[in-house]
Structure 1
Amino acid sequence: MELDMAGGQRQGLLADPGYGSRTSLSSRPMRGFTWRAKQRHRPGLEVMAPTGRKHGFEWSEEMRLLVALDFLRASEVLSQPFRMDFEQAGGQAWHIPDFLAVTGGGMWLLDVR
């Protein structure tokens, strides 16, 4: 499977030889996870056992979703995987979804509100 990324890049599922038949996605977050004093949210990194990696989050609600995905044994999770550009009544717009997750039930594009 391939995804069209911002800037005309194409991103696909990559075989990971270290995990046998497991496939993994590869991507960098579209934004950094930084914070400063007196801001309302506290970005951070959550370690997930099934992926063996840290995954970025911006809000505590996103961290709780990562914990739930960990319990669901999501085989892959990407934080802020790509930017979606689209047209709406007022003109051009864009949005960056929070996560792309691969579970036993399929691939899920998740936005936490």
Structure 2
Amino acid sequence: MAAELSVASITVSLRSASGRLVENREWAGSSIGGLAGAAPWRTFRWYRGQRHYSGTYWSATMRDHVIYESRLELARLLFADFDPSVRRIVAQPFLLKAEVGGAARKHIPDYLLVTDEGPVVVDVKPLHRWSKPEVALTFGWTREAVELRGWKYEVWSEPPAVELENIRFLSGYRRDWLFDRGLVDELRGAELDGVSLQRAVACLPGRSEEQVRPAVYHLLWTHEFTVDLDRPFSPAHVLRRTA
């Protein structure tokens, strides 16, 4: 399917941050700066009986709200927000058009991530739907179009359940302005490498565990410390200081 893509036919349309419509630009010549600054090409609507759960998520990466159209998209958004290599997250970033096998095709990816390793275009789809011919065709030509630019294309499905729940839990501590900066600095200076979570929350004399615990979780969200996310959180989790 990907071999049937007419490279010369690929165009991109987007909505600028000011709402201006920019249509049918040459895909290969469109700057990442312009694409990364785009407003969502489409926005969701609430209606009775809808099959998907749509909403907005306040992203610590963007310092702003980012939309999602399903719970699975929200999960991918959480992973992106937690990833320290991700610098920008754009939902519904642009409309791609191309000629594929002699027919006009179009597709709106779910996310554009600007990362330290380069742009990543993401489509989110439940695993059981990958095999549908129309879905496979769309993902095939989209992958080729993205990779022609030397970018990464990703089709993302259900993540490991425990890892998702751990990241979802830590996301509750992503808002840095809610934390006492003096307390956070004390924890940064404490000898916590190799210390259990149970011991870490009791490590500061004069500070209650109720004060310290949220700050420790915030430092886990910001990757100043790490723990094993492949098993449910417990007091026995061991903190490791990042390099």
Answer whether TM exceeds 0.5 for this pair: yes
1:65: Cα distance to partner?
0.4
- RMSD after superposition: 2.0
Q: Computing the radius of gyration over CA atoms, which structure comes out larger, 1 or 2?
A: 2
Aligned AA for 1:56? I
Say whether 1:81 aligns with 2:99: no
Q: Give runs of aligned pairs for residues 1-113 of structure 1, distance below 5 A.
A: 5-6=12-13, 7-8=23-24, 12-13=32-33, 25-73=36-84, 74-89=86-101, 91-113=103-125
1:29: Cα distance to partner?
1.1
TM-score (norm 2): 0.38
Runs of 4+ displaced beyond 3 Å? 8-12
Aligned AA for 2:33? L
1:8: Cα distance to partner?
3.5
Taking a change above 3 Å as real, the CA distance of residues 51 and 59 of structure 1, as seen in their structure-2 partners, is same
Aligned AA for 1:104? D
Taking a change above 3 Å as real, the CA distance of residues 39 and 79 of structure 1, as seen in their structure-2 partners, is same
TM-score (norm 1): 0.79
1:34: Cα distance to partner?
1.2
- What residue number does 2:130 align with? none
Q: Which has the higher contact order (CA 8 A, sep 6+)?
A: 1
Greater share of strand: 1
Structure 2: 5+ residue stretches without partners: 1-10, 14-22, 126-243
